[in-house]
């Protein structure tokens, strides 16, 4: 089966949870990171009373946690053969710039991937452009033009396991994945289990055709995959404008993430230990759009 067909086959599996999930989360308390916006702008000054949260269609009583919760950011950078040296240098500068937006208790770790994924550096010793380009050359040499996007995102998810942090995975990608060992459903289940939002910066379409002969699938399959991953986990997809530097884009995503509301509730009136629970989050009276994960596993 071709990689393109495999991605197409994986997407319908994301529409509903599997009957035998691999990952489940403790559910004494459920926490949801919620972005509320209107006309593309985050809504400020909301309280718990402004939200309606349903667990398997049962309305829950929610509380609003402090917005001072530390943020843990994993930046996942595509350095495969379809990414230029200038783009790699820009990605390194953008990742390093994120540290200037860190607050006490925050953390950021960078990962780079081609056919393999590796941690680059973390916190205040983030990769320089020269260091990242050297790593990219090493990864490309072993890669043979292959790209393991889903494997890289999964690595970042598994390494972000601190319960008292808000967790964000920010991935730069051209949407190509032709060698991952896991599927998209596994990535979604891991993100939902760990309460991680997946946000993606998609490279412009004229940079999507690589040297391996693969079709530029991000325009259809690849882009659809990114949207499903983001929607399921309460994240978003940002399209990078041609010639626009990455630094302001990364910083804007982090600023927006900090404007999320952290809601929590103890599941009431629903079963426990019964597998998948569907979550819906809305604003009372409507008038805005909400980004939040769409469920959790109850054990």
Residue 244 lies in a domain: yes
- Give the pLDDT of residue 1: 38
Tell me whether residue 116 is exposed, middle or buried, using C-beta atoms within 10 angstroms of its C-beta: 0 to 12, 13 to 18, 19 or more.
middle
Tell me whether residue 204 is exposed, middle or buried, using C-beta atoms within 10 angstroms of its C-beta: 0 to 12, 13 to 18, 19 or more.
middle
Supply the range of the domain harboring residue 114: 71-258
- Give the pLDDT of residue 140: 63
Residue 183 lies in a domain: yes
Buried b (16+ CB within 10 A) or exposed e, 48-66: eebbebebbeeebebebbe
Residue 294 lies in a domain: no
Residue 31 lies in a domain: no
Residue 128 lies in a domain: yes
| Distance in angstroms (rounded) separating the CA atoms of residues 65 and 58 | 21
Residue 133 lies in a domain: yes
Q: Which has the closest alpha carbon to 268: 57, 44, 91, 73? A: 57
- Give the pLDDT of residue 160: 62
- Give the pLDDT of residue 3: 40
Specify the number of domains making up the chain. Answer: 1
- Low-confidence stretches of the chain (pLDDT < 50) are 1-26, 124-125, 143, 207-219
| Distance in angstroms (rounded) separating the CA atoms of residues 89 and 217 | 25
Residue 151 lies in a domain: yes
Query: Residue 6: which H helix or E strand, with range?
Result: helix 3-13
For CA atoms 242, 246, 251, 257, the dihedral sign is positive
How many Cβ atoms from other residues are within 10 Å of residue 272's Cβ?
A: 10
Q: pLDDT tens across 163-210, in order? A: 556 789 999 988 788 888 889 999 999 998 888 999 999 887 554 444
For the domain that residue 232 is a member of, what is the CATH number? Answer: 3.40.50.410
Indicate the SS3 state at residue 175: coil
Residue 102 lies in a domain: yes
pTM for this prediction: 0.79
- Give the pLDDT of residue 223: 80
């Amino acid at each position: 089966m071709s990689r393109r067909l495999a991605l197409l086959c994986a997407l319908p599996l994301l529409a509903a949870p599997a009957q035998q999930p691999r990952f489940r989360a403790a559910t004494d308390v459920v926490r949801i990171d919620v972005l509320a916006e209107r006309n593309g702008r985050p809504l400020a000054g909301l309280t718990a009373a402004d939200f309606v949260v349903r667990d398997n269609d049962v309305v829950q009583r929610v509380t609003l946690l402090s917005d001072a919760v530390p943020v843990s950011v994993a930046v996942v950078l595509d350095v495969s053969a379809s990414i230029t040296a200038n783009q790699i240098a820009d990605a390194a500068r953008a990742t390093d710039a994120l540290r200037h937006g860190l607050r006490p208790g925050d953390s950021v770790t960078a990962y780079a991937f081609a056919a393999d994924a590796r941690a680059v550096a973390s916190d205040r010793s983030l990769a320089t452009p020269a260091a990242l380009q050297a790593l990219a050359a090493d990864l490309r040499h072993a890669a043979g033009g292959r790209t393991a996007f889903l494997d890289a995102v999964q690595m970042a998810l598994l390494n972000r396991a601190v319960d008292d942090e808000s967790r964000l995975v920010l991935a730069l990608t051209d949407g190509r994945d032709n060698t991952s060992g896991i599927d998209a459903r596994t990535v979604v289940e891991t993100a939902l289990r760990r309460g991680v939002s997946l946000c993606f910066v998609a490279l412009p379409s004229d940079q999507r055709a690589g040297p391996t002969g693969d079709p530029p699938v991000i325009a259809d399959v690849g882009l659809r995959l990114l949207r499903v991953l983001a929607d399921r986990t309460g994240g978003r997809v940002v399209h990078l404008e041609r010639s626009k530097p990455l630094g302001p884009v990364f910083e804007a995503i982090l600023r927006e993430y900090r404007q999320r509301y952290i809601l929590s509730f103890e599941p009431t009136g629903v079963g426990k230990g019964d597998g998948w629970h569907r979550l819906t989050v809305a604003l009372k009276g409507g008038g805005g759009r909400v980004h939040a994960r769409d469920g959790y596993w109850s054990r």
